[in-house]
Amino acid sequence: MLRSLTRSVVVLLATVLAMPIYAQEGHPLKGSWIGVWESNKDAGDDIIMVLNWDGKAVSGIINPGTDNMKIGSATLDPNGWKVHIEADGKSKQGAALHYVIDGTIKDLELPARFITGTWQSQTGKGKFEVRRQ
């Protein structure tokens, strides 16, 4: 009887401890995102974003490497899961550019969720879509 009770407690404890690990996916924007921002003649069509959540704000980098752009501001509206990201970069000629990305998170419940929407800067605009990796 005691052995059966001990086994039941161990199984219950293991289940309770494992559930938060599985359930906690983190902030919806946190992680690495890969995709396209079509018709971007200054940064190219491919985009990589690395986003972080510090408990208060979203920060990150667009296209890490030699042409990286630090995200100046990013907001997430849980009503409709609307995303707004702003970042400053440079054109191929070296002129300052201000990028604005507006989109919606789709498949929020999946680890490979994605954001779809639009991007714009002084030199263009187009379709935007990234998937979390």
Q: Is residue 112 part of a domain?
A: yes
As a whole number, mean pLDDT of residues 7-28 equals 53
Asked if pLDDT for residue 23 goes beyond 60, the answer is no
Q: Is residue 104 part of a domain?
A: yes
Q: Is residue 17 part of a domain?
A: no
Q: Which domain holds residue 36?
A: 31-132
How large is the greatest C-alpha to C-alpha distance in the chain, in angstroms? 79
The pLDDT assigned to 22 comes to 41
Instruction: Give the percent of the chain with pLDDT over 70.
Output: 81
Q: Is residue 39 part of a domain?
A: yes
Any idea what DSSP says for residue 2?
Answer: H
The pLDDT assigned to 65 comes to 82
Q: Is residue 85 part of a domain?
A: yes
* Under 8 Å between Cβ of 71 and 61: yes
The pLDDT assigned to 47 comes to 96
Q: Is 76 left (phi over 0), alpha (psi -120 to 50) or beta?
A: beta
* Under 8 Å between Cβ of 60 and 49: yes
Domains in the chain, number = 1
Tokens for 29? Answer: 């924007």
The pLDDT assigned to 7 comes to 57
Q: Is residue 4 part of a domain?
A: no
User: How many CB atoms are closer than 10 A to CB 82?
Assistant: 15
* Under 8 Å between Cβ of 83 and 115: yes
Q: Choose among 60, 45, 66, 70: nearest CA to 128.
A: 45
pLDDT for 45-81, tens place per residue? Answer: 999 999 999 988 999 999 988 889 999 999 999 999 9
* Under 8 Å between Cβ of 26 and 6: no
Q: Is residue 74 part of a domain?
A: yes
Confidence of residue 122 (pLDDT cuts 50, 70, 90): very high
Asked if pLDDT for residue 19 goes beyond 50, the answer is no
Q: Is residue 23 part of a domain?
A: no
As a whole number, mean pLDDT of residues 115-119 equals 98
